[in-house]
């Protein structure tokens, strides 16, 4: 089960008058690969966030931070490009956007893909259904060119939404979702976008990394194919995946003031950019709230934040603290806990979801080459 918490809101230039046909130049990556020089180049030129001369090897997608609840970026689909905003979601695997076939209110107030306007679209008769924790969609599958930052993925399969029932997506400030989890959980067996990037050698390394800003500040991004060294000055703690489904890891325990209060025998968690809060199994939530000194209703005074303890996630023998300023969300003088009770049973037990509340404290590296997650605590 995927939990998407929205909290109620949840060009090509003309060739002058001669109309000379445009030809896409080979990228630096393609040229180096054809001459057998790509691997040597990457060893000699690690990612430099200030680099201006070789942007095609490392692709940073800026994300807009909406109220610390939604982080979304721009993509385009089709020829010519039709632009959309999407959540880059590590908790799901499908790409979909609203389409002109959809008459749901949630589609009508968002951008809709029109396949008849794209010369590269290829339709199918295959259907698609995805259920999220808060919202669902149905549609059909098609193929077209998908461009993410400067990465162009040809013949990418994606969903064209025909229904988006309810109000969750109606109030969302994004159009669709681009899943970054594993193919094993992709609905209808659709190949995820990042898998095609890897297969087609469109990224420098088979990983991507994420930085989410705080307090609605700018600067959030997804970096495809690289690790920004300016965000890992505290070192990287690598955690092996326990399943190649979501970005799933094993936690040893969750402790407060040095004492285990939940997950004491070990439990499973996923690192999920598409979930706004920290989702805790319902049976553990009251215990955790009691340990930090908050009542079962979760209400809290903003004046009490400084007296609250850290919540510490013990993972792979290492401690990853979450300070009260991180797990209490402040907005216009009102404070609420960024914790949510939920039940997501799996074969390995109830899942914890380390959503944006957790991710904002760490630069996160999602490494497909080695099936691991890297965490680096931010300053």
Q: How far apart are the C-alpha atoms of 308 and 364, rounded to whole Å?
A: 25
From the candidates 68, 195, 252, 272, which is the catalytic residue?
Answer: 272
Pairing, β 122-132 against β 135-148: antiparallel
**89 in active site:** yes
Judge whether 143 and 166 are in contact, CB under 8 Å: no
Judge whether 71 and 212 are in contact, CB under 8 Å: yes
Judge whether 121 and 144 are in contact, CB under 8 Å: yes
Largest CA distance in the chain: 74
Closest to 327 (Cα-Cα) out of 168, 221, 214, 231: 214
Q: Alpha carbon of 284 to those of 9, 95, 247, 314, 321: distances in Å?
A: 27, 33, 21, 16, 18
**228 in active site:** no
Tokens of 98: 């609203």
From the candidates 89, 228, 252, 367, which is the catalytic residue?
Answer: 89
Q: Which residues contact 50 (CB under 8 A, 6 or more apart)?
A: none
Sheet harboring 362-367: ordered strands across? 59-62, 221-224, 207-211, 362-367, 372-377, 237-240
Q: Name the residues annotated as catalytic.
A: 89, 272
């Amino acid at each position: 089960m995927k939990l998407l918490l929205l909290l109620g809101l949840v060009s090509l230039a003309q060739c002058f008058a001669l109309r000379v046909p445009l030809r896409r130049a080979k990228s630096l990556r393609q040229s180096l690969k054809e001459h057998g020089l790509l691997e040597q180049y990457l060893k000699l030129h690690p990612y430099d966030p200030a680099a201006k001369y070789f942007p095609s090897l490392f692709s940073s997608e800026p994300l807009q931070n909406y109220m610390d609840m939604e982080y979304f970026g721009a993509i385009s689909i089709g020829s010519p490009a039709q632009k959309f905003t999407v959540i880059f979601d590590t908790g799901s695997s499908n790409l979909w956007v609203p389409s002109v076939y959809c008459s749901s209110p949630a589609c009508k107030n968002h951008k809709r893909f029109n396949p008849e306007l794209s010369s590269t679209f290829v339709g199918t008769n295959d259907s698609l259904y995805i259920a999220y924790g808060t919202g669902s969609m149905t549609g059909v599958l098609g193929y077209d060119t998908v461009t993410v930052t400067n990465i162009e993925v040809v013949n990418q399969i994606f969903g064209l939404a025909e229904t988006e029932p309810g109000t969750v997506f109606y109030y969302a400030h994004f159009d669709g979702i681009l899943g970054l989890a594993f193919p094993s959980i992709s609905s209808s067996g659709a190949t995820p976008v990042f898998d095609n990037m890897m297969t087609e050698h469109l990224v420098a390394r088979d990983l991507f990394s994420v930085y989410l800003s705080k307090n609605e500040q700018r600067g959030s991004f997804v970096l495809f194919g690289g690790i920004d060294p300016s965000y890992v000055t505290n070192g990287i703690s690598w955690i092996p995946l326990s399943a190649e489904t979501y970005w799933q890891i094993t936690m040893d325990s969750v402790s407060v003031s040095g004492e285990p209060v939940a997950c004491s025998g070990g439990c499973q968690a996923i690192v999920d950019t598409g979930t706004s809060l920290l989702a805790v199994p319902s049976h553990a939530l009251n215990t955790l709230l009691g340990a930090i000194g908050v009542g079962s209703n979760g209400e809290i005074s903003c004046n009490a934040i400084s007296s609250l303890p850290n919540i510490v996630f013990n993972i792979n023998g290492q401690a990853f603290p979450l300070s009260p300023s991180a797990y209490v969300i402040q907005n216009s003088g009102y404070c609420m806990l960024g914790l949510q009770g939920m039940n997501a049973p799996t074969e390995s037990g109830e899942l914890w979801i380390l959503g944006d509340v957790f991710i904002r404290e760490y630069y996160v590296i999602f490494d497909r080459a080695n099936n691991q997650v890297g965490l680096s605590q931010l300053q």
